Amino acid sequence: MGSPITDKNGQVSFLKQRLNMFLDVLDAIEPEETELEDIDRLIEMIDELESKCREFNNRDE
């Protein structure tokens, strides 16, 4: 695993990259063909982003 991201610019860059990955997945989904597992994975991605935001905020305190 990589080393922890401690600088603000690195943290923002990481979050932007992850958010863009989420948006790419969201754009690629065909609503008529989406299964429950696909929705669950999107929710997991959002939960991971939220967790990472909290982690970065706690490092700054």
Burial group, residue 37, by CB count within 10 angstroms (0-12, 13-18, 19+)? exposed
Residue 57 has pLDDT above 60, yes or no: yes
Convert the pLDDT of each residue in 3-56 to its tens digit.
677 788 989 999 999 999 999 999 999 999 999 999 999 999 999 999 999 998
Contact indicator for 15, 5 with CB cutoff of 8 Å: no
Given this model, what pLDDT does residue 28 score? 93
**Rounded CA separation 2/30 (Å):** 34
